[in-house]
């Protein structure tokens, strides 16, 4: 298709680039927005409950369902043996079951399910299922997996130059180790699906999923059906963050098997505790590095290991590790580098997609390294960063071979520093610390360069369907899913811009595999890029047909037809958009079109870890101030200043909301959200009483987010916009680095800070005590 037009000039009409409110905003705040749990259910719908393994690794010697089936109201109960098709819902690799078959591999592994007339009866039935376990040896840590070489996928190695020789030749050589923990998605709406059996074994599934096509495929595999007999629909999710990309298939698949067995509709909604026990999370990483530098802090060589805790199966771990490797460089030129990514198998729930998809862990690794280098050399961290930034025209090729053609990181960091008076801010923090013996402040900045596109080129495609009705109203459908991020209103704005009508004329409809097939997940921050372009393609096709009718009606060249503010002009004549639609219908011209888009330029060689995996990069920078109590380890984030590159933003209001929300979510990952398994392999932080997401009082009292001005995307994206869903999460690394800075103020200059993430009070206090020992020594 042709490249999209440049951003339009300002107009009162609400199309692209207007700060339009979320299409469901009123529904969200009034409670009228319908989620799956609010849907009126068909008659005779059954409620379902899961039976979860109580052992992290055990052979299932027997599963007795008789007591469950005897509970009044229980209609059906299933195990893996009751699956009529193939017990496999793996998103990438095969043999990843919906229900454990023969062996349970984590505490919380679904091994059976019960459906009943009421939820209470289903839960009672599930509680009465008797499982005969034979405990097996368990591996619960990445270190154990490394020792035994237990992996769910082959190692990935990204290499450039000769890192071994360059390390030996480096004037200064440092090594280090850091860990970052996992994170639960803690979406407000838990996992839920409704499966409704139809004629001839057809199955209609309503699923809270980011990936309707994957749910369609998973259900079809389990039921032994072709894909065209399974239709999956989702209007909205109450949050997802990656947790409903592959995990939703488990819930929908089990509901569908129960529906097929009972011949009745089945609703399966997980309680929060079961949700957290049974479904995957962000990957914890163990990071080790060996770096060679010069006296100015320039990185000359790097050998780094990124070991991800995959959990019990591969799930999406291989591409998560790939993206982590592709973001180890962040904004920095690494002339000689080897990064090894390992997908370690443990007997815990399979970890999965989460906002950033490995990028945050890769960036944490390099930022911890840069911070260590700066402290060792007694240089400001910002100075070390600037000396290692990618150049323009030189030192501008990533370790995976992609040339950085759109580098604006110096502009972004410079604008932020000037806007917040960074030198003055630093002086104020230092002055406070000089007078405060117990409470210490820290200040840090972080730059971010984040690649946009799925690493697997095949996934970078999207479809859309647009209808124009004879009154000028428009029906829009596409393969993207709405999870609160504002995708639907953005794509509607794109279509409104194409027709030059107000966005209120666009009616958004639920995502359905029956309307747009073979979709990719709404993930990788690519929802607007892909679906917006597909919808634009469809709208431009219809607009072209309408222009031809208008040109014929008024006998002018089609090139002179102009669409503007709800009217269509042919020199001195004009028709309202709806009038032209009516005219097109009367002349038997189609007002319906599909649209399609595939991202250009991208390619990737998984064997060599080289290529151009990203269409473009987004850039951002943040500065954060924290305070820690050196006697208790408690901390507060006092101020955060964010600057994010959104290109020519499709919707500044939506984008600002995404920036603020991503930052706070990243803050939670790095400070308070600790997942803790006991020695027996049981997750003990599986509800809001023990798992601490940030609350309203944790948001910095001074919190400013800005969009980078006058920076349209250099690549031909939809109206030159840029993605925004994931990149701002990495800005929260400034908080973790600021905590390290506060800890460093307790010890001698040049002392190394040893602090893993999340920086809980316990970890902060331990880091303070360690650095105080350095001072004594």
The answer to whether the beta carbons of residues 58 and 103 sit under 8 Å apart is yes
Contact 465, 478 (CB under 8 A): yes
Q: Are strands 230-234 and 203-207 parallel, antiparallel or unpaired?
A: parallel
Categorise residue 754: left if φ over 0, alpha if ψ from -120 to 50, beta otherwise: beta
Cα separation, 407 vs 398, in Å, equals 12
Token pair for 174 = 């440092």
Give 209-252 as a DSSP string. Answer: -S-HHHHHHHHHHHHT--GGGEEEEES--S--TTTTTSHHHHHH
698, with CB counted inside 10 A (0-12, 13-18, 19+), is middle
Q: For residue 526, which phi and psi values (nearest 5 degrees)? A: -105, 5
Tallying the residues shown for the chain, one arrives at 777
Cα–Cα dist 353/350, whole Å? 10
Which amino acids are annotated catalytic? 726
Q: What CA–CA distances, in Å, run from 586 to 39, 243, 583, 589, 592? A: 39, 48, 5, 8, 14
Peptide bond just before 689 cis, omega within 30 deg? no
Cβ proximity of 363 and 733 under 8 Å: yes
Contacts of 156 (CB under 8 A, 6+ apart): 318, 321, 322, 325, 340, 341, 606, 609
**Lookup: tokens for 458:** 């095949």
DSSP letters spanning 59-78: EEEEEE-HHHHTSTTEEEEE
How many Å apart are CA 397 and CA 407, to the nearest integer?
11
Q: Where are the alpha helices (DSSP H) in 308-351?
A: 317-325
Burial status of residue 649 (CB atoms within 10 A of its CB: 0-12, 13-18, 19 or more): buried
| Residue 379 burial class via C-beta count within 10 angstroms: exposed 0-12, middle 13-18, buried 19 and up | middle
């Amino acid at each position: 298709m042709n490249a999209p037009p440049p951003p339009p000039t300002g107009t009162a009409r609400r199309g692209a680039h207007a700060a339009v409110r979320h299409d469901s905003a009123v529904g969200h705040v009034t409670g009228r927005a319908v989620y799956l749990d609010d849907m009126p259910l068909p008659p005779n719908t059954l409620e379902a409950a899961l039976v979860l393994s109580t052992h992290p690794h055990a052979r299932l010697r027997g599963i007795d369902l008789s007591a469950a089936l005897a509970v009044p109201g229980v209609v059906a109960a299933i195990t893996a043996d009751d699956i009529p098709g193939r017990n496999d819902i793996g998103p990438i690799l095969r043999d990843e079951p919906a229900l454990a078959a023969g062996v349970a591999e984590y505490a919380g592994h679904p091994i059976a399910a019960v459906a009943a007339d009421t939820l209470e009866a289903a839960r009672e039935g599930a509680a009465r299922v008797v499982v005969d376990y034979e405990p097996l040896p368990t591996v619960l840590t990445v270190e154990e997996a490394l020792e035994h070489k237990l992996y769910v996928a082959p190692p990935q190695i990204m290499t450039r130059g000769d890192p071994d020789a360059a390390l030996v030749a480096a004037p200064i050589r440092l090594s280090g180790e850091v860990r970052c923990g996992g994170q639960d998605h803690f979406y407000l709406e838990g996992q839920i699906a409704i499966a409704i059996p139809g004629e001839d074994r057809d199955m209609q599934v309503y699923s809270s999923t980011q990936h309707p096509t994957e749910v369609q495929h998973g259900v079809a595999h389990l039921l032994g059906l072709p894909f065209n007999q399974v239709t999956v629909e989702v209007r909205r999710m109450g949050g997802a963050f990656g947790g409903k990309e592959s995990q939703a298939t488990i819930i929908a698949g089990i509901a569908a098997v129960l529906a097929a067995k009972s011949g009745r509709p089945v609703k399966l909604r997980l309680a929060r505790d079961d949700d957290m026990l049974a479904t995957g999370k962000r990957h914890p990483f163990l990071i080790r590095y060996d770096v060679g530098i010069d006296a100015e802090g320039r990185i000359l060589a790097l050998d780094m290991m990124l070991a991800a805790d995959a959990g019990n199966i591969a799930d999406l771990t291989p591409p998560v590790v790939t993206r982590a490797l592709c973001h180890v460089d962040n904004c920095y030129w690494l002339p000689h580098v080897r990064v090894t990514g390992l997908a370690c198998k443990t007997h815990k729930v399979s970890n999965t997609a989460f906002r950033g998809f490995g990028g945050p862990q890769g960036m944490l690794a390099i930022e911890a390294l840069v911070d260590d280098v700066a402290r060792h050399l007694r240089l400001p961290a910002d100075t070390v960063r600037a000396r290692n930034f990618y150049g323009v025209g030189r030192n501008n090729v990533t370790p995976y071979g992609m040339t950085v053609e759109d580098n604006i990181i110096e502009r972004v960091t410079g604008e932020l520093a000037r806007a917040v008076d960074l030198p003055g801010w630093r002086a104020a923090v230092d002055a406070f610390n000089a007078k405060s013996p117990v409470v210490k402040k820290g200040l840090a900045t972080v730059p971010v360069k984040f690649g946009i596109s799925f690493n697997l080129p095949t996934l970078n495609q999207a479809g859309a369907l647009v209808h124009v009705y004879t009154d000028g109203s428009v029906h829009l459908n596409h393969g993207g899913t709405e999870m609160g991020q504002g995708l639907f209103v953005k794509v509607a704005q794109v279509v409104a811009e194409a027709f030059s009508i107000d966005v209120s004329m666009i009616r958004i409809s639920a995502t359905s595999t029956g309307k747009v097939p073979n979709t990719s997940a709404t993930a990788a921050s690519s929802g607007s890029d892909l679906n917006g372009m597909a919808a634009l393609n469809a709208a431009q096709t219809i607009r072209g047909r309408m222009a031809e009718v208008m040109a014929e009606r008024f006998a002018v060249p089609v090139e002179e037809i102009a669409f503007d503010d709800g009217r269509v002009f042919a020199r001195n004549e004009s028709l309202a958009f709806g009038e032209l639609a009516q005219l097109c219908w009367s002349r038997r011209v189609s007002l319906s079109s599909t649209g399609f888009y595939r991202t250009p330029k991208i390619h990737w060689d998984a064997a060599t870890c080289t290529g151009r995996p990203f269409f473009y990069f987004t850039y951002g920078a943040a500065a954060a101030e924290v305070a820690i109590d050196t006697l208790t380890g408690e901390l507060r984030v006092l101020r955060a200043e964010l600057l994010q590159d959104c290109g020519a933003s499709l919707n500044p209001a939506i984008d600002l909301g995404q920036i603020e929300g991503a930052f706070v979510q990243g803050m939670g990952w790095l400070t308070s959200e600790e997942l803790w398994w006991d020695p027996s392999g049981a997750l003990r932080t599986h509800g809001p009483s023990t798992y601490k997401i940030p609350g309203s009082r944790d948001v910095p009292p001074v919190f400013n987010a800005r969009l980078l001005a006058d920076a349209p995307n250099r690549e031909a994206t939809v109206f030159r916009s840029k993605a925004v869903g994931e990149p701002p999460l990495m800005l929260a690394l400034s908080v973790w680095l600021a905590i390290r800075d506060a800890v460093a103020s307790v010890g001698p200059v040049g002392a190394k800070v040893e602090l893993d993430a999340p920086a809980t009070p316990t970890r902060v206090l331990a880091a303070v005590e360690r650095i105080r020992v350095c001072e004594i020594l």
